[in-house]
Amino acid sequence: MPVSDAITDSITQVNTKVLGDVPAMAQGNLLTATSQALSNAAHNMTNTVQQNQMVASATTVQGVNALFSKGAAIVARTSDEILTKG
């Protein structure tokens, strides 16, 4: 049974369009995946900075508490050692 030329042309045009859309779709998928990865990296970095700031604050508080819990002579000697090492 012969097929109409109009049907053949229509199918050919649809196939050509699908093949033409593939590179754009692939590029879109790549950009989406890349942007999601960069967003996750930025979020992780923000979280890391926050954690580091909390550790630094806790360390500072512990250091100050250690200095205040010692006698005056020990504080003076420790401070002098710290200043003379620099």
Here the tokens at position 25 are 């779709």
- Domain positions in the chain are 23-85
pTM: 0.51
At 38-71, the pLDDT tens digits run: 999 999 999 999 999 999 999 999 888 877 776 7
* Residues 70 and 78: beta-carbon distance below 8 Å: yes
Dist. CA 26–CA 40, nearest whole Å: 21
